[in-house]
């Protein structure tokens, strides 16, 4: 008897979530742990937390000749954070530079939308596919072959990217036109407002993507049912032309 057994199949949800955890979750956790818990300087924490994104970005370039979007984004944000951390002494600049990081993320999202690889879709995919292999396959087919689906992906990503860019602009203007104590709390309001705007502006695109995925999954589910269903004994063969 053969004792060798096949490796257990990888969970669909893990396939989708792994890039988010590895490329975003781990670097952010490392940066927080080093700076806030262990007391290392912000610059050193950002440098050390950039090691994994650097490795992932280089590996993607070497093996697939492609830029790992999520790892590259984290690396870009960390690099901007290191540069901004070197600037100090001006209270208004300190308020404005926090918004600069939002703009880095926002601009990257806008660029990804027009580059054909909408960044926000990677976070939306696990929410709408719900680890269902049929829905995941439907998403992949739509992303590869549906112009309407790609427009909805682009619109959803632009809603978030432009909202973050707008939040940065509002924070920079406020930093140099309003009292610093006011901006200390108003900056948080700007960020929350950007999220609200992104949710509202992105809702129509979100709904459109969800409906397209559901429709595609339903069609593929029906097709799979007819392909796997065996005819009853004595039933005539049916040929679809």
Q: What is the pLDDT of residue 82?
A: 67
Neighbours of 60 (CB within 10 A): 16
Per-residue pLDDT tens over the stretch 25-81: 677 778 778 877 888 876 777 778 777 777 776 776 677 665 555 666 666 766 766
Model-wide pTM > 0.85:
no
Q: What is the pLDDT of residue 33?
A: 85
SS3 category, 50: coil
Q: What is the pLDDT of residue 84?
A: 65
Q: What is the pLDDT of residue 201?
A: 93
Q: What is the pLDDT of residue 221?
A: 59
Q: What is the pLDDT of residue 224?
A: 54
Cβ within 8 Å of residue 74, ≥6 positions away: 23, 24, 27, 28, 50, 53
Rounded CA gap, 16 and 206, in Å? 18
Q: What is the pLDDT of residue 158?
A: 94
Rounded CA gap, 163 and 223, in Å? 41
Q: What is the pLDDT of residue 240?
A: 40
Cβ within 8 Å of residue 159, ≥6 positions away: 197, 198, 201, 202, 205
Residue ranges of the chain with pLDDT lower than 50? Answer: 1-13, 15-16, 225-226, 237-241
For the purposes of burial, counting CB atoms within 10 Å of the CB of 80, is it exposed (0-12), middle (13-18) or buried (19 or more)? middle
Rounded CA gap, 210 and 214, in Å? 6
Q: What is the pLDDT of residue 47?
A: 77
């Amino acid at each position: 008897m053969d004792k060798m057994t096949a490796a257990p199949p990888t969970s669909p949800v893990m396939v989708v979530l792994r890039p988010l955890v590895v490329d975003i979750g781990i670097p952010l956790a490392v940066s927080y742990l080093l700076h806030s818990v262990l007391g290392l300087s912000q610059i050193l924490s950002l440098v050390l937390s950039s090691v994994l994104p650097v490795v992932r970005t280089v590996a993607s370039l070497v093996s697939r000749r492609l830029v790992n979007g999520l790892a590259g984004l984290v690396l870009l944000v960390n690099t901007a954070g290191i540069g901004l951390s070197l600037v100090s002494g001006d209270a208004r600049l300190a308020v404005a530079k926090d918004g600069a990081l939002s703009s880095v993320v926002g601009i990257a999202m806008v660029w990804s939308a027009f580059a054909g690889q909408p960044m926000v879709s990677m976070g939306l995919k696990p929410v709408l596919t719900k680890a269902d292999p049929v829905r995941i396959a439907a998403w992949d087919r739509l992303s590869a072959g549906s112009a309407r689906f790609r427009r909805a992906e682009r619109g959803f990503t632009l809603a978030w990217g432009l909202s973050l860019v707008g939040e940065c602009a509002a924070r920079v203007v406020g930093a140099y036109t309003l009292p610093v104590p006011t901006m200390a709390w108003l900056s948080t309001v700007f960020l929350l407002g950007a999220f609200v705007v992104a949710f509202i502006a992105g809702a129509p695109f979100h709904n459109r993507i969800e409906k397209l995925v559901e429709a595609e999954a339903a069609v593929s589910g029906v097709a799979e049912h007819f392909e796997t269903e065996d005819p009853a004994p004595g039933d005539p063969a049916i040929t679809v032309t």
